[in-house]
Amino acid sequence: MRILFCGDVVGKSGRRIVLDHVPRLRSELKLDFVLVNGENAAHGFGITQRMCDAFYHAGVDAITTGNHVWDRREIMNTIDDEPRLLRPMNYPDGTPGRGVGLYETGDGGRVLVIHPMGRLFMDPLDDPFAAVEAVLATQRLGEAADAILVDFHAEATSEKVAMGQMLDGRVSMVAGTHSHVPTADARVLLAGTAYQTDVGMCGDYDSVIGMEKTVSIARFISKVPNGRLEPAEGDATLCAFFVETDDTTGLALRAEPLRLGGHLSERLPR
Active site residues: 68
The phi, psi pair for 81, rounded to 5°, reads -100, 10
C-alpha R_g of the chain? 17
Residue 128: CB atoms within 10 A of its CB come to 25
Element (H, E) at 11: helix 11-28
Query: What is the rounded CA–CA span in Å between residue 263 and residue 236?
Result: 7
Residue 261 contacts residue 240 (beta carbons within 8 Å): no
Residue 112 contacts residue 147 (beta carbons within 8 Å): yes
Query: What is the rounded CA–CA span in Å between residue 111 and residue 245?
Result: 11
Q: Where are the alpha helices (DSSP H) in 104-204?
A: 128-136, 157-167
Element (H, E) at 217: helix 213-222
List residues bridging with 112 in a β-sheet.
Answer: 102, 148
Sequence-distant (≥ 6) Cβ neighbours of residue 39 within 8 angstroms: 8, 46, 47, 64, 65, 66, 67, 68, 69, 153
